[in-house]
Amino acid sequence: NTNMIIAIDGPAAAGKGTLSRQIAEAYGFHHLDTGLTYRATAKALIDAGLALDDEAVAEKVAREVELAGLDRDILSAHDIGEAASKIAVMPSVRRALVEAQQAFSRREPGTVLDGRDIGTVVCPNAPVKLYVTASPEVRARRRYDEIVAKGEMADYDHVFADVKKRDERDMGRADSPLRPASDAHLLDTSEMSIEAAFRAAKAIIDAAL
């Protein structure tokens, strides 16, 4: 298998999503936002009125998730993100979704996958790994601005507390915790515009190609 894989990890609201889409577009690669696979599993459970704490049921639903139909607009709701991070601690749910993500990663001519464990677990042999972060304050501010831009109500302190809680759950779990792969390039976007982050990422990727 000769295709190119770009692995992008980082905490919630670090700007990985926008960056990953722009990179995939620039190189003509397929893009998978793996957070959507966890979100789609959570939403399917909620919609079917099923419990979020039954691992066998959650695994079965995870195996039925279709990568083709994932839509961030439908899956963006706050409670879906919360539920996603709860089922994401279940090893058999992770195994099911990781298998689907690995199959996706082999598409030609190349792929960009973003998530929490791409460089460490899903694609440990990816030739390029980025770990995209920003301070919790900056991430909470960006999330807050996004909510307000949609015309919805938000409270900064509440959003900040949510960001911290999500970090703790994602970094603290036993199976595939969020952490940079040892060979990942760190990209702190706290002081960067979207354009600057893209240029910095492109420079790292071009140097590795």
**158 φ, ψ (degrees, to nearest 5):** -70, -45
* Nearest-angstrom CA–CA distance, 18 and 156: 22
128-133 and 110-115 beta bridge pairing: unpaired
Does 110 count as an annotated binding residue? no
Instruction: Determine if residue 16 is labeled as part of a ligand binding site.
Output: yes
Residue 62 makes contact with ligand C5P by CB under 6 A? no
Say whether residue 139 binds ligand C5P (CB under 6 A). Answer: no
Shortest distance, position 14 Cβ to ligand C5P, whole Å: 9
CB 110 within 8 A of CB 6: yes
What's the CA gap between 177 and 168, in Å, rounded?
Answer: 10
Reported residue count of the chain is 209
202 is in an annotated binding site: no
- Which one-letter amino acid corresponds to residue 86? K
- Can you tell me which of 19, 24, 81, 128 binds ligand C5P, judged by CB under 6 A? 81
Which of 24, 88, 132, 197 touches ligand C5P (CB under 6 A)?
Answer: 88
CB 172, min distance to ligand C5P, A: 11
Among 19, 117, 136, 200, binds ligand C5P (CB under 6 A): 117
Is residue 84 within the footprint of ligand C5P (CB under 6 A)? yes
Residues 6+ apart with CB under 8 A from 89: 169, 173, 174, 175
43 binds ligand C5P (CB under 6 A): no
**Is 10 labeled as ligand-binding?**
yes
Residue closer to ligand C5P (CB basis): 35 or 136: 35
- Candidates 31, 43, 139, 166; binder of ligand C5P (CB under 6 A) is 166
**Which listed residue (15, 110, 115, 136) binds ligand C5P by CB under 6 A?**
115
Q: Does 34 interact with ligand C5P (rule: CB under 6 A)?
A: yes
Helix locations, the chain, DSSP H? 16-27, 35-47, 55-63, 72-75, 78-87, 91-105, 136-149, 156-172, 194-208
Residues of the binding site for ATP: 10-18
